[in-house]
Amino acid sequence: MTAYTHGHHDSVLRSHRWRTAQNSAGYLLPHLRPTDRLLDVGAGPGTITADLTGLVAHVTATEIGPGELDLTRSTLVERDAAVELVVADVHDLPFDDATFDVTHAHQVLQHVSDPVQALREMARVTKPGGIVAVRDSDYTGFTWRPRLPALDHWLDLYRAAARANGGEPDAGRRLLAWAHAAGLEDVTASSSTWCYATPDERTWWAGMWAERIVSSAIAQQLTESGSATPAELQEISEAWAAWGADPDGWFSVLHGELLCRVR
Ligand SMILES: C[S@@+](CC[C@H](N)C(=O)[O-])C[C@H]1O[C@@H](n2cnc3c(N)ncnc32)[C@H](O)[C@@H]1O
């Protein structure tokens, strides 16, 4: 079982709650039909899920455990979005073959132990002619300015921690190969980015990471494994604050994305 590197600390959820269908599933939106039955795997805080309910007929959302699903539920209740909620592991989905028109997973495959099996399962529960849609970031593809050494250290530590947990932080570039290995042949690959370059975006992104690197699950993992000392993490946190305060600060987050037509 893969550990989920980010955990569910409030500093993590703050980042995930910023997500919308528009800024995170733009590649999928033109393909959605009002009659579709959609599955959102690993819905997390559920903001993308809530947006999707306005675009299709029926949405089912899954999370890995009941506690995680409660987080999804709280957003959906807040947003008054009707969604069926199910605890499920993407490696073994509790749905019949050919149940959904669209099966979607945003930033999930990078965290799972067997992304090829995950894609096989997503394809199995999707109707022939339906779509499997996945999007994952690619950490080595992140780029930013100013290039503070402590932020290079942050990236090295994050990538090592994600791999130690059985995940793949550079998932974006691997999605196409994983889909082919899962037997998916009709696949359209693309990439897109998030860019943080306004004062508000810098304050939010830097503030979130400044806290996350000293207070969330990854901080505990890095110190307990001896990969970093609390002082090193504090230095990274301060570098994030410095980046956030720089009026020239610019950050780009690369993602790979796939639309797979199921046969
Ligand atoms: C980075 S979050 C993405 C949440 C949401 N899709 C979004 O983009 O806002 C990844 C989610 O995948 C879930 N997850 C991790 N391993 C999973 C697995 N094996 N099966 C299903 N979900 C999993 C985690 O609990 C977490 O909520």
Please report the DSSP string for 13-64 in residue order.
HHHHHT--HHHHSTTTGGG--TT-EEEEES-TT-HHHHHHHTTSSEEEEEES
Q: Which amino acid makes up residue 238?
A: E
Higher per-residue pLDDT: 186 or 216: 186
Residue 65 Cα: closest atom of ligand 1? 25
Mutate to test the pocket of ligand 1, among 111, 119, 168 (most ligand atoms within 8 A of CB): 111
Share of the chain above pLDDT 90, in %: 93
C-alpha 145 to ligand 1 mean position (Å): 29
pLDDT at residue 163, as a whole number: 97
4 ligand 1 Cβ < 6 A: yes
* Tokens at 42, concatenated: 């690993």
Quickly count: other Cβ atoms within 10 Å of residue 33's Cβ: 11
Q: Per-residue pLDDT tens for 85-126?
A: 999 999 999 999 999 999 999 999 999 999 999 999 999 999
Q: Whose CA is nearest to atom 27 of ligand 1?
A: 44
pLDDT at residue 1, as a whole number: 47
C-alpha 106 to ligand 1 mean position (Å): 8
Share of the chain above pLDDT 70, in %: 99
For 82-100, letters b (16+ CB in 10 Å) and e give ebebbebbbbebebeeebb
C-alpha 43 to ligand 1 mean position (Å): 6
Average pLDDT, the chain: 96
CA distance 94 to 97: 10
C-alpha 261 to ligand 1 mean position (Å): 22
pLDDT at residue 104, as a whole number: 99
Give, in order, the Cα–Cα distances in Å from 160 to each of 111, 138, 155, 216, 228: 13, 14, 9, 16, 11
* Tokens at 217, concatenated: 């699950």
Dihedral over Cα of 89, 164, 190, 192: its sign: positive
Residue 105 Cα: closest atom of ligand 1? 6
Look at residue 167 and tell me whether its pLDDT is greater than 90. Answer: yes
135 ligand 1 Cβ < 6 A: no
63 ligand 1 Cβ < 6 A: yes
Say if residue 101 is exposed, middle or buried (CB neighbours under 10 Å; 0-12, 13-18, 19+). Answer: buried
CA distance 32 to 44: 21
162 ligand 1 Cβ < 6 A: no
pTM comes to: 0.95
Look at residue 207 and tell me whether its pLDDT is greater than 90. Answer: yes
